[in-house]
């Protein structure tokens, strides 16, 4: 296949170092099995324990694809209909603009309700950063929390995408009501065990006895790693704990159209239904049933999902037509794992990652960051990269300024940005010279990069 593992590992270690990620695990698979798996960095920094491909992390919202799979499976078995109103199973009379929310609306985040942020509040409370106390400990508590949410509606069901963690909590409750099992037991018996995902689970007790678990970390404002914990308890929207080898088996089931090593979990039609683009997201991507569907950056269908509980992050994705999948997990929030997953898939496809727009833009932004001076060093500013933006910062003993620069055009010779200062629109023009030097024209100044 010509996969360049060394190049991937150099890329990953560089990004981990820049964002201070403690540890990361990654696995790549095709229809037949795993062809690359690696742990990099530490699963436990204080004890000096290395990350491995078997290291367990909380996968956050990647769990939603498991919840969606369970719902589609129950629908195939005739236990429910995706068109059923949610209130048939859950005592929640929330009707945006008078219309009932149906199961498929929850699957596609199109209930009409904007995010109610229960999960954000729960996670922040667990890590000690809560602004208020929200005593939610069960899916039934979420139902009570949502009692007046109809007044918060922004669209009729099915009209508009609003990512809604609470909706997937309700789906987990529906799975429990229909199957007679707890959500966790249903997923374990009907998905995890059949797929041989032997080290994937939901509970604190299982996590604490796991011999290869990752310590979750907060990376604070100073870049320090602070050991933390996971928000155990409510599972269907983001509570599964897994590892990249188990997730590789999960992705292989999708690549093999619902079957893995002779065990069928879902029909081929069911898999295709999950992958069908159903509602457009504000960023131009589409959401299906528990999965995001995109055509970029490879110009071919990519089915994927990210996850984050602040103290661990996840990304999984697969290319159905090419039969390739990737799973990436980390024990903190740092460099976006989606970028690592896409870089790995590009190498697996024998493509040049640096030629993809995502990485080309990032490379230009990195080159522009640094210290700049005017003629003979009379005035000095810093250009700082923060995510997809640059900030022009001027700091003195008594005053300081931080001006956001929004990208307009980025290429290898000229990069232009715009901002607003003093109520007026300004343009910042960076000139990237063949000799490696960089010049900046901003307002009345000309700067040269000096470091």
Using the 3D structure, point to which of 352, 383, 416 is the last residue of a domain.
352
Q: Are 22 and 34 in contact (CB under 8 A)?
A: no
- Provide the 3-class DSSP secondary structure of residue 437: coil
Count of C-beta atoms within a 10 Å radius of residue 321: 10
pLDDT for position 243: 98
pLDDT for position 441: 97
Q: Please list the rounded mean pLDDT of every run of 10 residues in the chain (451 residues).
A: 89 96 98 98 98 98 98 98 98 96 98 95 87 88 95 96 98 98 98 98 97 97 93 93 98 98 98 98 95 92 97 98 98 96 96 91 94 96 94 91 94 93 93 95 96 82
pLDDT for position 133: 82
173 in the same domain as 33: yes
378 in the same domain as 305: no
| pTM reported for the whole predicted model | 0.94
Helix axes 118-126, 165-179, angle to 10 degrees: 100
331 in the same domain as 264: yes
373 in the same domain as 339: no
Q: Could you list the residue range(s) of the whole structural domain that residue 419 is in?
A: 362-449
Residues 6+ apart with CB under 8 A from 139: 169, 170, 172, 173, 176, 183, 234, 236
232 in the same domain as 374: no
169 in the same domain as 37: yes
pLDDT for position 374: 97
pLDDT for position 40: 98
3-state helix, strand, coil split of the chain in percent (to 5) is: 30, 25, 40
Does residue 32 belong to any structural domain of this protein?
A: yes
Domain of 232, CATH number, reads: 3.40.710.10
105 in the same domain as 156: yes
436 in the same domain as 289: no
Domain of 409, CATH number, reads: 2.40.128.210
255 in the same domain as 128: yes
pLDDT for position 296: 83
408 in the same domain as 296: no
Using the 3D structure, point to which of 352, 380, 398 is the last residue of a domain.
352
243 in the same domain as 215: yes
Distance, CA of 357 to chain centre: 19
Using the 3D structure, point to which of 310, 331, 352 is the last residue of a domain.
352
What is the domain count for the chain? 2
Does residue 357 belong to any structural domain of this protein?
A: no
179 in the same domain as 128: yes
């Amino acid at each position: 296949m010509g996969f360049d593992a060394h190049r991937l590992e150099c890329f990953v270690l560089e990004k981990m170092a820049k964002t201070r990620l403690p540890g990361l695990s990654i696995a790549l698979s095709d229809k037949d099995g795993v062809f690359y798996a690696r742990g990099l960095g530490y699963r436990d920094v204080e004890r000096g324990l290395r990350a491995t491909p078997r290291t367990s992390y909380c996968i956050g919202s990647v769990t939603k694809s498991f919840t969606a799979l369970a719902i589609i499976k129950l629908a195939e078995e005739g236990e429910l209909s995706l068109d059923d109103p949610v209130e048939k199973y859950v005592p929640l009379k929330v009707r945006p603009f008078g219309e009932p929310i149906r199961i498929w609306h929850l699957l596609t985040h199109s209930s009409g309700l904007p995010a109610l942020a229960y999960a954000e509040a729960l996670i922040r409370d667990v890590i000690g950063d809560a602004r208020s106390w929200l005593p939610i400990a069960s899916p039934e508590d979420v139902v009570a929390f949502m009692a007046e949410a109809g007044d918060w509606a922004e669209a009729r069901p099915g009209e508009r995408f609003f990512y809604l963690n609470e909706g997937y909590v309700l789906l987990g409750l529906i799975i429990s009501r229909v199957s007679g099992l707890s959500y966790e037991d249903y997923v374990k018996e009907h998905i995890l065990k059949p797929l041989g995902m032997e080290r994937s689970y939901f509970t604190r007790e299982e996590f604490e006895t796991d011999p290869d678990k990752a310590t979750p970390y907060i990376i604070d404002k100073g870049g320090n790693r602070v050991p933390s914990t996971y928000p155990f308890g409510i599972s269907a929207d983001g509570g599964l704990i897994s590892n990249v080898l188990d997730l590789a088996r999960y992705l292989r089931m999708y690549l093999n159209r619902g079957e893995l090593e002779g065990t069928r979990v879902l029909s081929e039609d069911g898999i295709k239904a999950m992958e069908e683009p159903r509602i457009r997201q504000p960023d131009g991507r589409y959401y299906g049933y528990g999965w995001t569907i995109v055509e970029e950056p490879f110009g071919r269908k990519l089915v994927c999902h990210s996850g984050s509980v602040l103290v661990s992050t996840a990304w999984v994705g697969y290319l159905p037509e090419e039969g390739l999948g990737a799973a990436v997990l980390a024990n903190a929030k740092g460099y976006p794992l989606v970028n690592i997953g896409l870089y790995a898939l590009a190498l697996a496809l024998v493509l040049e990652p640096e030629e993809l727009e995502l990485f080309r833009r990032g490379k230009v932004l990195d080159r522009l960051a640094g210290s700049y001076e005017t003629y003979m060093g009379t005035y000095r500013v810093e250009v700082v990269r923060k995510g997809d933006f640059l900030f022009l910062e001027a700091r003195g003993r008594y005053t300081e300024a931080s001006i956001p620069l929004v990208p307009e055009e980025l290429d290898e010779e000229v990069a232009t940005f715009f901002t607003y200062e003093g109520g007026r629109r300004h343009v910042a023009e960076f000139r990237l010279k063949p000799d490696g030097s960089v010049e900046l024209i901003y307002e009345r100044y000309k700067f040269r990069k000096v470091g």
